Structure 1
Amino acid sequence: MYQCDKPTNLLAQLRAMPMFTEVTDDVLQWLIDISRFVCFDKGETIFEYNSVVDHMDIILKGSCLLRREQDGHSREMGIWEAPHVMGVLPFSRLKTTAAEGVALENIQVLRIHKENFVEMVNVSYELVQALVGIMTDRVRDFQNMRLMDEKLMALGKMSAGLAHELNNPASAIVRSSQELHKHLAQTPERFKSIVTMRVTTDAVDNLNQVLFDRIRSYSGASDLSLLQRESRNDDLQDWFDAHDITNGDEIIDTFIDWDWSPEHLDAVAGAVPTEALEPVLWWIEANLTTEGLVGEIQTASNRIAELIGSIKAYSHMDSQASMIAKDIHEGIRSTLTMLKFKFKEKHVKLKKEFDKDLPNVKILEGELNQIWTNLIANALDVVTPDGSGLITIRTYRRRDNVCVDVEDNGTGIPEDIQSRIFEPFFTTKGIGEGTGMGLDIVRRSLKRHGGSVSVESQPGKTCFRICLPL
């Protein structure tokens, strides 16, 4: 900054400024007489952040870039171009600057010290009125800027949350479609083995009845416990051995997933000739697998639609979505179906302890499904993939609440960060592995439900407890 001689046309420059339309020439001349004429070169700092403000500057020529530090980064807030009034104004409570000003080009400024403001009130009411109007506009502009910042922050949170939530169903669709494509490549051979068998029309009808009765009665996920599943596996394996089914271990998991028992297989065996039994069982397994993969794609697609609906509801806060009394197990089962590939991928065991007598709870179903997805996906991330990982999902009633526990035997949450895990964007995952929005979404969604979330964690046992009021 350096002081310059005042130009001879300074009065004409002030007269041309829109803010001084109602101010007389003699008052403008008084303003010129009490002021200093200073210049700044391009790139020079006009004022620093948090510096004391004791003067008013009228930019006569040039432009000033306004910027401030935010989260360790310099952020541009706008550009002030001539003619413009900056700095402290009459009746303003401004003490220090909230940003930094840098000259984008050579700037000429008329500078008036604030000690002249008292005399200004006596000299010209119109001048003071004009400057107060500028101050009012400035306050409005900063309020609009702050409101825009808040909207952008909210949009950023929504975008991060949506990206976080869409990842699981989108991955499920991709995985299931790839599996379906691979599976359909095997269909011609199995179809060939079927059409070469001499099976009567009545046998086909009986076979279809058994197959489609099982498909219709399928609830979306097997409710068998680990022990029950092992017992069913032994029963089916014995049945396969007794009927000379080769490689039965390759299809047994599909029949267990669809809750088939030896009695159902007896019905199939009774409907077809003995020599047709093995190819028929492989054909049934192919149909069940296809049905399951299509169901997974449908479930994941519906979840994406629910997420988009949730975002719409979030962005229109004045139109509240209505809560519907639902069985919470439905959402948990669909979530487990969607994440089933992750359980298989990491060789994680699942233990379900469901209280089937629980009453329905009024919920926003899409939002509650996001909660189950976040908690189960987080548990899958922390358990070891060596086959010893176990996730337990437990439902029960406690007084006037329906509670759901999501428990894992992973490494646990360090005690020093347990109080921070529900903060927005707080994450212990690496870049690209998480946004830190999952548990914040859980907390905010439960607040809308009038529910609560708590966590107890130690190495080998971490339990997130969700409580929803009846």
Structure 2
Amino acid sequence: MTLLENLRQFPAFENVPDEQLQWLIDRAEEQTYGQEEVIYAPDIPVDHLMLLLDGRIRIDGPNGVSDEIASYEPHSVLGVLPFSRIKTIPNRLVAEKPARVLRLHRDHVRELAHTHYELTEALVHQMTTRVRDFTRQVQQNEKMASLGRLSAGLAHELNNPVAAVVRSADTLRQHLRATPEAFKTIMHLKLSDQQVDSVNEVIFRKIDQKPPILTLLQRSSLEDEVTDWLDDQGVDDSLDMAGPLVDFGFTVDDLEWMLERIGDENLAGVVAWLVNNLVTEKLVTDISEASKRISALVGSIKNYTHMDRGVGKERVQLADGIRNTLTLLDHKLKKKQIAVTLHVPDDLPAVCGWPGELNQVWTNLIDNAIDALPEGGQLTIDCELDQRAEGMAFVLTKVIDNGAGIPEDIRDKIFEPFFTTKEIGAGTGLGLDIVQGVVKHHNGSIKVQSEPGRTEFSVCLPVE
């Protein structure tokens, strides 16, 4: 097959006349590459338009082959294109399979653009397709990375309550095995209805009241007092019983009150039954609280992604999205012991917009602030109504951190796509570009002010 016949198989050249393709062939050179041979190393000048005749070429990601960015099959167009500003590429270009390439040096590209309209048009179309596909892919990678961070955080946050449910359920199962024995003991006691009512009264009173908040020293002292009192009354296993009693606020005075009503002969059996019920109540409460935590986390991720809603515009309470985002990033906040202050007026009006997009704004701004903050840093989020003189109303949201600040020499670049100060593989440089795009989509504005010890991102969104 001749080179002209091969070029005719390129979908991009379907409408390009033969004489223009022949012009390209006359000025190009054919080059072959062996398997896994590096065509371009990172940051090496890219000087050729490349037409892949046979083989397969890939672009490695920052972590090598395992993180492949893109691959090209025969009849693909790579490298320099008319009017493109490509100088170098940050990643390796490698022949994944033995490859045969037709290369045109960039010195001929200017002549091509001036004299061969159809060929230039085809190549420019390839350039716009390349930019669109690459941008879409990088944005998708950024979204997946963001989803990965949130998923890791959600898994981390769910782990504790799930473990608590499993642990408490197992303990409850073992504990319930002792209930028949305690029941048998209580059945042998001769208690009047009035005495039973007294025991029920104290149980429900202690269960319904808020558990006392005790220091370690206070708790230890109370347990010693209760243990000593039970020992004095001849109650077995007093040490094991003291803990559950103190958990629910029982004191020696409470036990004395109960003793007066049930008598010495019934005390041991009643206390055993009482402690059995308190332990059961504690385990059920632990399971309930852990389950509520799981429900809250699931609710936060559901609201964050708006899985149960449409994709159109709607009235959005910004505070809800911010709170959901803080919940999902709570593991990162706890890891660095960052204090969070959220100020939201009760009468803050809603804005009209796309909730999922706005959540991306809060995710990127808060996540960036966490990365910039030192251990024990402070994150402040303020929302307020901004009533303009021209009659328009806006919601102004400020995300403020007390980190080191953004250096002045890069402050103007932070919203540029692919600009990042993070290490290779740690960021794509699209976070703030996405934020700016979403804010513009909502007819809003975003500004940044920064100095050492205070960085403030201000997002202004119209109410109507």
Aligned pair count reads 352
Name the aligned partner's letter for residue 69 of structure 2. Answer: M
32 and 374 in structure 1: CA distance in 2 versus 1, 3 angstrom threshold: closer
Of 11, 16, 22 in structure 1, the residue corresponding to residue 9 of structure 2 is 16
Name the aligned partner's letter for residue 52 of structure 2. Answer: I
Unaligned 5+ residue runs, structure 2?
A: 308-313, 338-367, 384-397, 404-464
Unaligned 5+ residue runs, structure 1?
A: 1-6, 325-362, 380-419, 427-438, 456-470
40 and 366 in structure 1: CA distance in 2 versus 1, 3 angstrom threshold: closer
421 and 33 in structure 1: CA distance in 2 versus 1, 3 angstrom threshold: closer
Is the CA contact (8 Å cut-off) linking 1:165 and 1:370 kept in structure 2?
Answer: no
368 and 316 in structure 1: CA distance in 2 versus 1, 3 angstrom threshold: closer
Verify: 1:29 aligned to 2:22, yes or no.
Answer: yes
The C-alpha deviation readout for 1:59-114, integer Å capped at 9, x for no partner, is 122221221333x7752112101111101111111001232222233322111111
90 and 373 in structure 1: CA distance in 2 versus 1, 3 angstrom threshold: closer
The C-alpha deviation readout for 1:200-258, integer Å capped at 9, x for no partner, is 233222321221122112x1x32234454355345434543453333322211211110
The whole-number CA distance in structure 2 between the counterparts of 1:276 and 1:182 is 26
Structure 1 range deviating more: 312-321 or 363-372:
363-372
Q: In structure 2, what is the equivalent of residue 395 of structure 1?
A: none
Task: Find the residue that maps to 1:82 and give its secondary structure.
Answer: coil
Q: In structure 2, what is the equivalent of residue 334 of structure 1?
A: none
State the Cα distance separating 1:154 from its structure 2 match.
0.6
Verify: 1:236 aligned to 2:184, yes or no.
Answer: no
157 and 225 in structure 1: CA distance in 2 versus 1, 3 angstrom threshold: same
The whole-number CA distance in structure 2 between the counterparts of 1:305 and 1:315 is 15
The whole-number CA distance in structure 2 between the counterparts of 1:373 and 1:184 is 39
Is the CA contact (8 Å cut-off) linking 1:22 and 1:126 kept in structure 2?
Answer: yes
State the Cα distance separating 1:452 from its structure 2 match.
8.2
Verify: 1:169 aligned to 2:117, yes or no.
Answer: no
State the Cα distance separating 1:39 from its structure 2 match.
2.0
Q: In structure 1, what is the equivalent of residue 288 of structure 2?
A: 298
The whole-number CA distance in structure 1 between the counterparts of 2:149 and 2:250 is 45
Task: Find the residue that maps to 1:168 and give its secondary structure.
Answer: helix
The whole-number CA distance in structure 2 between the counterparts of 1:98 and 1:38 is 22
Is the CA contact (8 Å cut-off) linking 1:210 and 1:267 kept in structure 2?
Answer: no
110 and 378 in structure 1: CA distance in 2 versus 1, 3 angstrom threshold: closer
Name the aligned partner's letter for residue 110 of structure 2. Answer: V
The whole-number CA distance in structure 1 between the counterparts of 2:56 and 2:40 is 13
State the Cα distance separating 1:42 from its structure 2 match.
2.8
Q: In structure 2, what is the equivalent of residue 179 of structure 1?
A: 171
RMSD of aligned residue pairs (Cα, Å): 3.6
Q: In structure 2, what is the equivalent of residue 190 of structure 1?
A: 182
Name the aligned partner's letter for residue 423 of structure 1. Answer: D
Q: In structure 1, what is the equivalent of residue 198 of structure 2?
A: 206
34 and 372 in structure 1: CA distance in 2 versus 1, 3 angstrom threshold: closer
176 and 266 in structure 1: CA distance in 2 versus 1, 3 angstrom threshold: same
The whole-number CA distance in structure 1 between the counterparts of 2:275 and 2:250 is 11
The whole-number CA distance in structure 2 between the counterparts of 1:303 and 1:296 is 11
Verify: 1:103 aligned to 2:51, yes or no.
Answer: no
Q: In structure 1, what is the equivalent of residue 130 of structure 2?
A: 138
Task: Find the residue that maps to 1:16 and give its secondary structure.
Answer: coil
Structure 1 range deviating more: 130-139 or 45-54:
45-54
The whole-number CA distance in structure 2 between the counterparts of 1:154 and 1:443 is 22
84 and 424 in structure 1: CA distance in 2 versus 1, 3 angstrom threshold: same
State the Cα distance separating 1:306 from its structure 2 match.
1.3
Matches within 5 A, 1:66-465: 66-70=59-63, 75-217=67-209, 219=210, 221-226=211-216, 228-237=218-227, 239-316=229-306, 364=323, 375=334, 423=371, 447=381
Of 54, 61, 71 in structure 2, the residue corresponding to residue 61 of structure 1 is 54
The whole-number CA distance in structure 1 between the counterparts of 2:107 and 2:318 is 61
Is the CA contact (8 Å cut-off) linking 2:153 and 2:328 kept in structure 1?
Answer: no
184 and 369 in structure 1: CA distance in 2 versus 1, 3 angstrom threshold: farther
100 and 370 in structure 1: CA distance in 2 versus 1, 3 angstrom threshold: closer
Task: Find the residue that maps to 1:251 and give its secondary structure.
Answer: helix
Q: In structure 2, what is the equivalent of residue 434 of structure 1?
A: none
Name the aligned partner's letter for residue 223 of structure 1. Answer: I
Structure 1 range deviating more: 225-234 or 18-27:
225-234
State the Cα distance separating 1:312 from its structure 2 match.
2.9
Q: In structure 2, what is the equivalent of residue 406 of structure 1?
A: none
State the Cα distance separating 1:423 from its structure 2 match.
3.5
112 and 227 in structure 1: CA distance in 2 versus 1, 3 angstrom threshold: closer
State the Cα distance separating 1:150 from its structure 2 match.
0.7
Name the aligned partner's letter for residue 6 of structure 2. Answer: Q
Is the CA contact (8 Å cut-off) linking 2:60 and 2:91 kept in structure 1?
Answer: yes
The C-alpha deviation readout for 1:14-62, integer Å capped at 9, x for no partner, is 2232211221111111111111122223332222222111110111222
Is the CA contact (8 Å cut-off) linking 1:199 and 1:273 kept in structure 2?
Answer: no
Name the aligned partner's letter for residue 43 of structure 1. Answer: E
The C-alpha deviation readout for 1:367-398, integer Å capped at 9, x for no partner, is 579869975x999xxxxxxxxxxxxxxxxxxx
Is the CA contact (8 Å cut-off) linking 1:41 and 1:105 kept in structure 2?
Answer: yes
Is the CA contact (8 Å cut-off) linking 1:313 and 1:319 kept in structure 2?
Answer: no
Name the aligned partner's letter for residue 207 of structure 1. Answer: V
424 and 151 in structure 1: CA distance in 2 versus 1, 3 angstrom threshold: farther
State the Cα distance separating 1:319 from its structure 2 match.
8.1
Name the aligned partner's letter for residue 146 of structure 1. Answer: V
State the Cα distance separating 1:117 from its structure 2 match.
1.5
Q: In structure 2, what is the equivalent of residue 436 of structure 1?
A: none
The whole-number CA distance in structure 2 between the counterparts of 1:17 and 1:210 is 87
Is the CA contact (8 Å cut-off) linking 1:66 and 1:76 kept in structure 2?
Answer: yes
38 and 228 in structure 1: CA distance in 2 versus 1, 3 angstrom threshold: closer
Is the CA contact (8 Å cut-off) linking 2:297 and 2:327 kept in structure 1?
Answer: no
Is the CA contact (8 Å cut-off) linking 1:59 and 1:83 kept in structure 2?
Answer: yes
Is the CA contact (8 Å cut-off) linking 1:49 and 1:68 kept in structure 2?
Answer: no
Verify: 1:45 aligned to 2:35, yes or no.
Answer: no
State the Cα distance separating 1:134 from its structure 2 match.
0.5
The whole-number CA distance in structure 1 between the counterparts of 2:10 and 2:325 is 57
Name the aligned partner's letter for residue 213 of structure 1. Answer: R
114 and 421 in structure 1: CA distance in 2 versus 1, 3 angstrom threshold: closer
- Percent identity, please: 36
269 and 160 in structure 1: CA distance in 2 versus 1, 3 angstrom threshold: same
367 and 186 in structure 1: CA distance in 2 versus 1, 3 angstrom threshold: farther
State the Cα distance separating 1:275 from its structure 2 match.
1.2
